[in-house]
Amino acid sequence: MLEINFIRANKSRVIQGLKVKNFSEEDLKLVEGVLALDDARKEVQTNLDNLLAERNQLSKSIGSLMKEGKKDEAEAMRERVARLKEESTRLEDTLRDTKARLEEQLIKIPNIPHESVPPGATPEDNEVYKAWGEPLPELGAGALPHWELAQKYGVFDLELGVKLTGSGFPVYRGKGAKLERALISFFLDEAIAAGFEEIIPPLMVNEDTARATGQLPDKEGQMYYVERDNLYLIPTAEVPVTNIYRDVILDEGRLPIKMTGYTPCFRREAGSYGAHVRGLNRVHQFDKVEIVVLDHPDRSYETLRQMLAHVSGLLDKLELPYRILRLCGGDMSFTSALTFDFEVFSAAQKRWLEVSSVSNFETFQSNRMKLRFRDGKGTRLVHTLNGSALALARVVAALLENNQTPEGIVIPKVLRNYTGFELLN
């Protein structure tokens, strides 16, 4: 959520930014609407505050009059306060209502894109930030897509997942399970070596937590929900990990705070079938190592660059061909100011698969989360950033396909200490 004061002070910049996110003229009226509602809010609040001030003063007088035994005067005053109360009750209702409407409108305004975000509406308009220079890997005749390789070598079993749970819940087996665990350990160890604190968070969160990172109220349909306990299964570790610092005021010297966490991620991904979602391309449960950074506004874009370098390093070490995209206004998430996607090339599918998304949210999340730091003069919102480092399922898909040989799947050197085998067959 944007700060209302920011919108007020930077109205034209906000409108310009919304245009990059392809807001229509009609939608742009939200900005004026929000400012008008805030004006109304201020007015009501001022009136209410004045009324309450009067009430407080009268109540105090009643107290001293009672002590002095002047019952009649006190009684008269009591009646006046009673009338004030009627009006203040009315104003309180108006204030509550105005605030609710303001919030409802404000929550519809997405984050303002960073100046480097290219215009555009669809993924085709994303800018290739770093291309894969060398020729793309070519597989010989008879090369198989990962879902067939999985069957051949018993890496994972989606049909079995259907039996146990439903579609999109893979069951990893044998060396496939070991490979999964190896990747998780490798990613975590790399993050820890880069100075991130490892977190193992809860996999279910309450409403407040889901709201603070922006999953609610908008995207509840994307999360699994346990109605009986009013809990949500996390769609990413970002949610519980970032919320560790909800309602916290940090000392400036504590920034940056760097955290990493492995969790399974649960996404409902309402129905879509076809070749592009086969196998591990899109599933309801997948493993991911996430990195989260809370940083000073002056430094956050340098931090974002470092996070890109970290993720690049992982893919380099796995020897997977990848490219980095700078997302265009139309393809960015609601909450992000700047997002880079990492895609690995799936040689058998001849497609790029998204394996990471690294974003700077600036103050969009921290505002809703009331996550601030003290800078000597007062408090300021911190910048929050996060990225996948990395999402497992599609990395596994690409590894299986790109590394297939007649003898089996060749495990990247960097993983062999973790898997204990060089060949998955």
The H-or-E segment that residue 240 falls in is helix 238-243
Residue 56 binds to RNA (criterion: CB under 7 A): yes
- Identify the active-site residue in 290, 323, 394, 401: 394
Is 336 part of the annotated catalytic residue set? no
Assigned token pair, 221: 């349909």
Helices (H), 107-232: 146-153, 158-164, 174-193, 207-212
Instruction: Tell me the two tokens of residue 156.
Output: 């994972």
Is residue 250 a contact residue for RNA (CB under 7 A)? no
Question: What residues contact residue 30 under an 8 Å CB cut-off, 6+ apart?
Answer: 105, 108, 109
Catalytic residue at 268?
Answer: no
Q: Is 9 in the site for RNA (CB under 7 A)?
A: no
Q: Is 354 a catalytic residue?
A: yes
Question: Would you count residue 165 as binding RNA (CB under 7 A)?
Answer: no
272 is catalytic: no
Q: Per the residue annotation, which of 41, 211, 238, 267 is the catalytic one?
A: 267
**By CB under 7 A, residue 200 contacts RNA:** no
User: Taking CB under 7 A as the rule, does residue 116 contact RNA?
Assistant: no
∠234-235-237 over CA atoms, to 5°?
70
Residue 90 binds to RNA (criterion: CB under 7 A): no
Q: Which is nearer to RNA, 76 or 128 (CB)?
A: 76
| CB nearer to RNA: pick between 32 and 87 | 87
CB nearer to RNA: give 47 or 312. 47
Give the residue with the Cβ less far from RNA, 189 or 208: 208
Number of amino acids touching RNA (CB under 7 A) = 29
Side-chain-side CA neighbours of residue 95 (13 Å): 14
Residue 97's SS3 state is helix
Q: Could you say which of 354, 374, 380, 416 is catalytic?
A: 354
Q: Is 78 considered catalytic here? A: no
Binding mask 372-391 for RNA (x = CB under 7 A): x-x---xx------------
Residue 216 C-beta: closest distance to RNA, Å: 16
Check binding of 64 to RNA (CB under 7 A): yes
Of the two residues 45 and 425, which places its CB atom closer to RNA in the complex? 45
Which of 16, 57, 405, 417 binds RNA (CB under 7 A)? It is 57
Contact between 268 and RNA (CB under 7 A)? no
Buried b (16+ CB within 10 A) or exposed e, 393-409: bbbbbbbbbbbbeeebb
Measure CA 135 to chain center: 34
The edge-to-edge listing of strands for the beta sheet with 408-410 is: 404-405, 408-410, 423-424
Cβ burial, residue 360 (10 Å; 0-12/13-18/19+): buried
- Residue 93 or residue 220: which is nearer to RNA going by CB? 93
Question: Catalytic amino acids?
Answer: 267, 282, 354, 357, 394
